[in-house]
Structure 1
Amino acid sequence: MKWSSRPRPWLPPRSAFAGFWFPTEVIVVAVGWYLRFNLSYRDVEELLVERRVEADHISVYRWVRRFTLLLADAARFCRHTPGDRWHVDETYVKVDGVWR
């Protein structure tokens, strides 16, 4: 049997979050808590339970492994790029061995 040479219908790209039981917002918040506040997976699990979301710490672990790079790439566009002007308060510079 030969494969058909008909063109495939256009399908929109699938979301990286497609196929997960939990909503995208829950996954993003859980991964964000883990990365931002240096929490353990069990701590994130407890925070989710306090908000009536029952997710296992293993699920949080899998989400972190899968979505950390994706979220870091998305956040890269929001970062401020340094310009040609800098504003500094009380700067000390060592000149000829003396702090000024």
Structure 2
Amino acid sequence: MEYAETFNCTCSHQTWSMQRPSIVHVHTRHGVCRDLQLYMFTPDMEYVETFNCTCSHQTWSMQRPLIVHVHTRHGVCRDLQLYMFIPDMGYVETFNCTCSHQT
């Protein structure tokens, strides 16, 4: 089971706070979705599951890339490729964020 991206980051980088939780909404290939809270450690990142998805599944596409854009509580952002394992989830960092933090 793998996790896939549902939408790109739409947060305002100007109002990013170190205390803001890093919530990422992801879907699995099997149609299960979760909101995950990511925490940054050095050099690893781990997550805790926060609550189940209440979004509409009608617009879900299985062809979406398995990339999620996340921000750490230190203000660092990454594009991550997430993989699901039982019972753990690991991740592979694919590349650094190239988004504009001023917009």
> Shorter-chain TM-score category?
under 0.3
TM-score (norm 1): 0.27
Q: Normalising by the residue count of structure 2, what TM-score does the alignment of the two structures yield?
A: 0.27
Between 1 and 2, higher relative CO (CA 8 Å, sep ≥ 6) is seen in: 2
1 or 2, which has the higher helix percentage? 1
